[in-house]
Structure 1
Amino acid sequence: ESWLKHVNDYDNDGTVLMIQIENEIGMLEDARDYSKAAQKEYEKGVPDQLMSHLRKNRSTLHPSLLERWKQNGEKASGSWREVFGDDIYSDEYFMAWNYARYVQRMAETARKSIDRPLYVNAAMNSRGRKPGEYPSAGPLAHLKDIWHAAAPSIDLLAPDLYDKGFIDWTAQYRTVDNTLFIPEIRRADGNAAQAFYVIGEHDALGFSPFSIENGSDSPDAPSVKGYAKLRELMPLLTAHQGTGNMNGLYFDNDSTDRIIHRDGMKITANHYFTLPWDPRATDGSEWPATGAVLIRLAPDEYVLAGTGVVVKFENDDETTIKQNLGEDGFLNAGSDRKSPATWSGTKRIGLASVDEVAINYDGTMKYVRRYNGDETHQGRHVRIGVDDFQILHIKLYQYK
């Protein structure tokens, strides 16, 4: 409490942006506490305060909690196992309620000293572990409703990401009742690509690789180049945050493509190594993590920023025939082809212009250079290489 008062009194320029109340709080080796005090609370059953919260917020409850409640008759009261099921996950619910109540008392004390956002971060329930094998009852996604009910003074529930499943974990923490903030993630060359993705896809508030200060300071390091480009892009990102005009792209060896539908248009995005001409795509090399943000400025105008992605624009009613292309981009000899055209539909979308740009402090764009035909594969797509971070301004047009 004295430290919080000190920060409030002396941090006039807002150096401290948020306060972490607890770090990876959770129960290990069992799903709940069996001490006399804990058992006394457990035998009281599910608190009315929690049941009231669940009824009021039924439409936004986590699917797993809602399903367990429904399977047990959606009781309005009862023991933890009567209401939520006869297994250790109900025990975890009990423990989550009490951890969150404890954190709420800490948050109330903090609010008396300082008015800054408060958050709690969680160690993930990954690798198929069950309660007790991971830090159970922490601010995990499947426990969010219990935490929100018991600790309303906490602004953010946040994930610490050190395992596989990056796309899935981030989606679980971006909900109507929680803003995504990543206070810890494994430090890696792909961090900048991940940051582009979560900001574009989930309007993420922040992204913090663990021990980033121990990473490379080389101007050529992916994180250095990527973070510099993110900083440059920030005026555009903040202007469009929360508007629904942004999408994030993230690709690696296991996930190489995505389709987005907007304005009657199909936007197909891929990992750069899905193109046929880079030898690293087929020589056994591990495909690096790549990512970007796609910002819709107008129905026919976009900004693409990031690294290692390929983006193609088509109308929804346009059917493209998959072609057997050589590394030069032309059809291989003897390829099947449809005559007179390899597409159908009323109109096609073309690339009117693709310009590399820089972003000024006020969010306006400064022209750097225009891409020529080879750099857009004769108008077929927009691309950014895996070794580059760029910002591209794209204008589209329709033609028959």
Structure 2
Amino acid sequence: MNSLLHRRFEHGRLMLHGRPYLIVGGELHNSGSSTRAAITESLDAAALMGVNTVLAPVAWESIEPEEGVFDFSIVDALIGAARTHSLHVIPLWFGTWKNGMSNYVPGWVKRDAARFPRIHTSAGTPIEAISPFSRSACEADARAFAALMRHLKELDDGETVLMLQVENEVGVLGDSRDRSRLAEEKWADPVPAAVLDALGRLDEGRLLGAVRRTGTARDSNWEGVFSEEADEAFMAAAYASYIDEVARAGRAEFDIPLYVNAWVDANAQSDGGEAGFALAGGVRPGEYPSGGPLRHTASIWRALAPTLDFLAPDLYFGTFDAIASEYAAIDGILFIPEMQCNRTGVEQMFRAVGELGAAGVAPFAFDIMAKDDPHYSDVTDAFRLLSAAGKVLEQYPDAEMHGFTLTGDKSTKRLFGDGAVEVSSSHLAETFPSERNGVGLVARVRQDLFYVIGRGFAVRTVDAGGSRTGWLAVEEVEPEGDDWRVRRRLNGDEVGGGQWIRLPALDQTQSELFPIRQNTRLSGILRASTYTY
């Protein structure tokens, strides 16, 4: 049976057995799945913190310690532990490259630089990264990946493995392109027809500007077409072609969604222009991995790597919403496989899911958080709340959803096209003062029925069409199996006399200036219906 009957994307959502599935994920730290002991520790943490999906590295060196001799004991341990905890898994293939370098290849690959040549910089120095122009490396990686996918197919139950990431944050670091002998032989060749055909789909940006200045003669070489942007375009074509060959070999064995992730460059406006942002992301090719699946190289990637379902951004820096939206526009799918694992990341997760329609989010290194970490409770609570949002989407696939962050104590937002609901921090601050931003999402599943999920804000209905509106019934709920359990029904001053429902921040304390004791321990998940009068 075609595995895509179980796992496929529709309208930007991952469908699992025909129902929308929201990936409330977490990516393990680099060595979090390197041994049986590490897998046990990491997945115990995952179950405790409440993720539904684990993104776990599978290193080439761990499955093919000798050429042609495969050992899948680590993979078996990962899948077994996931099933024990009722978790889904997205394996991350750390094959030829991880973060631009070749640290996870087997020893027999590392030691044979003649067969598996390295990238060279302009100084003639090799770096610890295999050249994407190496046929031997591509063929060996493709064989190993196909073997992994074949083994996963043998283990498949239709749902444990959701999809798979091919390589990790590829691109050249330390130079704008590979200067090895193999690369130089290709550098003078005419630009491939597939790349030229993709130029008409280039988005506004550096590559398109260069192409407009040079023209697109079909017999031109890379510099003749891309001018000063030629190095990065050249490397994008090389990496995309290599990875598509690896992906095709794997997909022939196990037909599930595949994607690549990107170390995002710093050429987008950053949030507040923080010092250090450029250093972290990099503004020039080589400072960030040159040739990776970035927004300005996306058309080349999509033309030369059609086997991939989508490109995904790793978002630690920059204008989160803008970059995420740009990636969503490339393939109509937004999945964020790496992001901050802290309160800022929590705010971004809610906006990604509620406002940007993300199929899933996955903070990095959640599994090594200590319980006394100041962000631990926020991240764990966010996993629980977003899992509830996933249940809403599962039950109401056509729900209209809006996510938000409220900064300061005077922030107010009207949600939905008709402004039917207003969320505010100002109506909370007097009774429940907090330095934390309000964060949440509201889903309208019927014209008169809403799910309100989050912390640190108040919400009310807005009068419309000459009629007054109010809360008909407000219930504090929690997911229970395929349905919801009602913890309590709220009324009276708990809903502001029928106007403002208040959801205090996590671990909130009440202002001593307000003498009437209020409930600060709400679940953060409400089901609320409205009426007019």
Mapped pair 1:392 → 2:526: yes
Equivalence for 1:103: 243
Equivalence for 1:299: 447
What's the CA shift string for 1:123-161, capped at 9, x where partnerless? 121234222211122112232222111101112311222
Aligned amino acid, residue 209 of structure 1? P
Among 395, 419, 430, the residue aligned to 1:277: 430
CA-based RMSD: 3.3
Among 301, 305, 311, the residue aligned to 1:147: 301
Mapped pair 1:44 → 2:189: yes
Separation of aligned partners in 2, 1:113 and 1:381: 55
Mapped pair 1:21 → 2:159: no
Separation of aligned partners in 2, 1:185 and 1:101: 27
Equivalence for 1:337: none
Mapped pair 1:346 → 2:466: yes
Equivalence for 1:327: none
Deviation at 1:81, TM superposition (A): 4.7
Alpha-carbon distance change, 279 to 383 in structure 1, aligned in 2, over 3 angstroms: closer
Separation of aligned partners in 2, 1:69 and 1:132: 19
Deviation at 1:23, TM superposition (A): 0.7
* Counterpart contact for 1:69–1:75, Cα < 8 Å: no
The secondary structure found in structure 1 opposite 2:429 is coil
Aligned amino acid, residue 221 of structure 1? S
Aligned amino acid, residue 383 of structure 1? R
Among 352, 367, 376, the residue aligned to 2:495: 376
The secondary structure found in structure 2 opposite 1:154 is coil
What's the CA shift string for 1:263-315, capped at 9, x where partnerless? x3354434x3674315754xxx4x34x43222111222211112223334435
Aligned amino acid, residue 360 of structure 2? G
What's the CA shift string for 1:133-192, capped at 9, x where partnerless? 111221122322221111011123112222243323322222261412222222214544
Q: How do 1:52-71 and structure 2 match up within 5 A?
A: 52-55=197-200, 58=201, 61-64=202-205, 68=209, 71=212
Separation of aligned partners in 1, 2:485 and 2:286: 54
User: Which stretch shifts more, 148-157 or 190-199?
Assistant: 190-199
Aligned amino acid, residue 429 of structure 2? P
* Counterpart contact for 1:193–1:291, Cα < 8 Å: yes
Q: How do 1:1-400 and structure 2 match up within 5 A?
A: 1=144, 2-12=147-157, 14-55=159-200, 58=201, 61-64=202-205, 68=209, 71-72=212-213, 75=216, 77=218, 78-84=220-226, 86-87=227-228, 89-126=229-266, 127-128=277-278, 129-175=283-329, 177-216=331-370, 221-241=377-397, 243=398, 245-252=400-407, 258-262=413-417, 264-265=418-419, 267-270=421-424, 272=425, 275-277=428-430, 280-281=433-434, 285=435, 287-288=436-437, 290-314=438-462, 346-363=466-483, 365-387=484-506, 389-399=523-533
Separation of aligned partners in 1, 2:470 and 2:305: 52
Separation of aligned partners in 1, 2:213 and 2:353: 39
How many residue pairs get aligned? The number is 356
What's the CA shift string for 1:180-218, capped at 9, x where partnerless? 222222221454444333222233233222221122458
Aligned amino acid, residue 405 of structure 2? Y
* Counterpart contact for 2:341–2:379, Cα < 8 Å: no
Aligned amino acid, residue 496 of structure 2? H
Deviation at 1:109, TM superposition (A): 1.4
* Counterpart contact for 1:72–1:82, Cα < 8 Å: no
The secondary structure found in structure 1 opposite 2:288 is coil
* Counterpart contact for 2:410–2:426, Cα < 8 Å: no
The secondary structure found in structure 1 opposite 2:529 is strand
* Counterpart contact for 1:233–1:359, Cα < 8 Å: no
* Counterpart contact for 2:312–2:335, Cα < 8 Å: yes
Separation of aligned partners in 1, 2:222 and 2:317: 31
Q: Percent identity?
A: 32
Alpha-carbon distance change, 46 to 389 in structure 1, aligned in 2, over 3 angstroms: farther
Deviation at 1:22, TM superposition (A): 0.8
What's the CA shift string for 1:314-337, capped at 9, x where partnerless? 35xx7xxxxxxxxxxxxxxxxxxx
Separation of aligned partners in 1, 2:427 and 2:293: 38
Which 5+ residue runs of structure 1 have no aligned equivalent?
319-344
Equivalence for 2:134: none
* Counterpart contact for 2:393–2:399, Cα < 8 Å: no
The secondary structure found in structure 2 opposite 1:131 is coil
Which 5+ residue runs of structure 2 have no aligned equivalent?
1-143, 267-276, 507-521
Deviation at 1:96, TM superposition (A): 0.9
Deviation at 1:104, TM superposition (A): 0.6
Deviation at 1:64, TM superposition (A): 2.4
User: Which stretch shifts more, 375-384 or 125-134?
Assistant: 375-384
* Counterpart contact for 1:28–1:134, Cα < 8 Å: yes
* Counterpart contact for 2:259–2:311, Cα < 8 Å: yes
Alpha-carbon distance change, 380 to 46 in structure 1, aligned in 2, over 3 angstroms: farther
Separation of aligned partners in 1, 2:346 and 2:429: 25
User: Which stretch shifts more, 109-118 or 197-206?
Assistant: 197-206
User: Which stretch shifts more, 294-303 or 232-241?
Assistant: 232-241
Separation of aligned partners in 2, 1:36 and 1:267: 62
What's the CA shift string for 1:191-250, capped at 9, x where partnerless? 4444333222233233222221122458x8222233233334433222345x36222223
| TM-score normalised by the chain length of structure 1 | 0.76
Separation of aligned partners in 1, 2:163 and 2:186: 32
The secondary structure found in structure 2 opposite 1:377 is helix
User: Which stretch shifts more, 246-255 or 122-131?
Assistant: 246-255
Separation of aligned partners in 2, 1:232 and 1:377: 24
Deviation at 1:68, TM superposition (A): 2.3
Separation of aligned partners in 2, 1:356 and 1:171: 32
Separation of aligned partners in 2, 1:153 and 1:171: 22
Separation of aligned partners in 1, 2:405 and 2:475: 22
The secondary structure found in structure 2 opposite 1:222 is helix
